[in-house]
A and B are shown apart, each in its own frame.
Chain A
Amino acid sequence: MTLTVPTEAAARPRPARRWPRRTSSLQHPGEGLPRFFGWLLLTALAVTTVYPFVFLTINSLKTDAEYTDSPYALPGGMNWSNFSTFLFDRGGLQSLGNSLLVIVFAVPTCVLLATLVGYAVAKLRFRGKRLVYSSFVALVLVPGQVLIIPLFLLFSEVGLVGSKWSVFLAYVASNLPFGVFLLAAAIRTVPTDLMEAARIDGAGPLRTLVSVVMPVARAGIMTFGLLAFQAMWNELTLALLLTPSPDDRLLTPTLALLPGRYSTDEPLLMAGLVVGSIPMALAVVFFARYLEKGAIAGSSR
């Protein structure tokens, strides 16, 4: 055993500000056997998580006949017809546009409202603050199933079923409780000294929020934005119920309704799945750090 190797020496150079920051003796390269099996195990796992997406992409470029012939073979050529059929004949493009339209407005709205409440309950002094905070946090527990029936009845009552407004409002509201929880936690870490300094300079609460709190808590705000985007992009039940007509339908219900009950054009379906996965797959690759922060924030309760 190489007991004398100091921790610092065992650390490898790695890009700054990336996971994880601390160095640990667990990274010790000594024990070859577990490390090799560990590597083997994770490689096998990674094959199961990555290959299906490769499989989807490859087969989305095949004709149905090619797929039936062999799902594992490479496509004969780049056959983009599945994508054009999905986008233009099966309502893919329309629903993609609908989803983007709803989400492009819903995410910033939700982030803004949650930031305001998070700021108030984390940093401002007013009576009833604890009650406001704990009410929001308690509502995190309410499962969607309890809400779908009354929301459906409510929106039919006011004539909003079939309108994208209903999904927009439902998405903003349903993501707010978790957002308040997350952003209150993020904003609580902003040093009070910094805010005091702004106050002494004559800044009011709004000014302090915009020029001190938001820049300092930027990572937390980003994280919640991504999580809200993910939740909305992947949501099925509300979208299915609140926008029943094909013209207003969002992407997830369009995908969910795509497979026929008896025979399915698999490559066409896969083209749809590829379209539906691209935004989140890109988000993982480019914003992994923020998505990780989201996981961390959720667990610190």
Chain B
Amino acid sequence: MSVATDERPHLRDHRRSERTFAWLSMTPAILLVGALIVVPLGWAVWTSLHRTNGVRSEWVGLQNFTDQLTSRQFWEILLNNAIFLLAVPLVLTLATVSAILIYERVRWWGFFRIALFLPTVISTVVVGILFRTLFSLDGPVNRIIDLFGGTPVDWLGGSTTARSVIIIALAWGGFGYGMMVLLSGLSSIDPAVFEAARIDGAGWFRRTRSITVPLLSGQIRFVSVLNVSYTFTSLFGYVFVMTSGGPGFSTTTLDYYVYQRAFVASQFGTAAALALILFLIVIVLTVIQFRLTAVDDGEPR
């Protein structure tokens, strides 16, 4: 920033009015975010150190955390989250392939751009109920299986099948966003790069593997980070409408468990501790993934 401040009085006045305006205009936002994000964050930490049902409260120190970290239940639920991470490579593959093809202007690309983006903007509640309906016992998917002489499957009644349905729903609802990000990344690459590769005689697969994908690594990294943290923070809608966490706890994810502990079991302290563990996981995963992929960037492929 320039130090050579102009000493002419009207400019000083201008600076002052700029400063006053800046703080005045930011006040409502700062107050709102302070009261409804920063204070609650502190409140969550405070709650996590208590055993409380919202009415009576008792200090327990870190016991809520140690209880969770030593409970079998917690680790089983964390494993569920890890299983749902299987959706991330699906999202990445679908997003990358469709972005490249649309960028290459396959026939009907304009239509595909909108059609493939559609599920992304629809509420997870709608997507969840839709998949619940499609995979219900006498639902459309089982009708087709029946038609080909197969035995209908109780998709949402078995743990493996229920998880699979949620993973499919996740990938279906998520790849369109990744596709848009990658498309924007493609459009910022200098077309001369592709031109050069083509003149050098690199075929489609070669070009995609050695040029397009590496050049997109920044956007691919962004999409994967986003989807990984999404898997920990945003499955609530799907689980709530599709399986309510069942059968047993086999589709209970950490974010659903937080809700359940707090608002079904009224264990606010436990739930707050779980929520903070979740926050920590999101931060750690984000940092790790940025580190990992940052190293990758420098390497020749």
Contacts and interface: CB of A to CB of B under 8 A. Distances in A.
Partners in one complex: yes
Interface of A: 1, 3, 7, 12, 19-28, 31, 34-35, 38-39, 41-43, 45-46, 48-50, 52-53, 55-56, 68, 70-72, 113-114, 116-117, 119-120, 124-127, 129, 132, 136, 139, 141-154, 156, 169-170, 172-174, 176-177, 180, 199, 204-206, 230, 233-234, 236-237, 241, 252, 255-256, 258-259, 264, 266, 269-270, 273, 276-277, 280-281, 283-285, 288, 291-292, 295-296, 298-299, 301
B37 A148 contact: no
Contact of A34 (B204, B219, B232, B283): B204
A236 B236 contact: yes
A37 B207 CA distance: 16
B101 A172 contact: no
Contacts of A114: 29
Contact of B233 (A21, A55, A145): A145
A63 to B, nearest CB: 16
Given A22-B187, A149-B272, A234-B125, A27 B30 contact: no
A205 B107 contact: no
Contacts of A233: 123
B270 to A, nearest CB: 10
Interface string B125-146: 1101110111010111001000
B154 to A, nearest CB: 14
A42 B118 CA distance: 14
A34 B124 contact: no
Contacts of B134: 52
Specify the main secondary structure of chain A where it touches its partner: helix
B74 interface: no
A269 B33 CA distance: 37
B98 to A, nearest CB: 6
22 contacts: A21-B187, A26-B191, A34-B204, A38-B104, A42-B98, A42-B106, A52-B134, A116-B26, A125-B22, A143-B255, A145-B258, A149-B258, A149-B268, A169-B32, A173-B35, A176-B33, A234-B121, A236-B125, A237-B237, A237-B259, A276-B123, A281-B122
A197 B220 CA distance: 41
Contacts of B43: 150, 153-154
Interface string B69-105: 0000000000000000000000000100110111111
A266 B133 contact: yes
Given A50-B118, A177-B37, A256-B240, A7 B195 contact: yes
Contact of A176 (B29, B41, B126, B258): B29
Given A72-B140, A234-B125, A256-B237, A24 B101 contact: no
Contacts, number: 316
B111 interface: yes
B123 A173 contact: no
Contact of B185 (A255, A259, A299): A299
A52 B130 contact: yes
Nearest to B195: A25
Contacts of A143: 229, 232-233, 255, 275, 278-279, 282
A136 B33 CA distance: 8
Contacts of B114: 284-285, 288
Interface stretch (B58-66, B157-165, B176-184, B292-300): B176-184
A3 B202 CA distance: 12
Interface in B5-33: 14-15, 17-19, 21-23, 25-26, 28-30, 32-33
Contacts of A117: 25-26, 29-30
A206 B20 CA distance: 11
Contact of A19 (B113, B138, B212, B278): B113
B286 A141 contact: yes
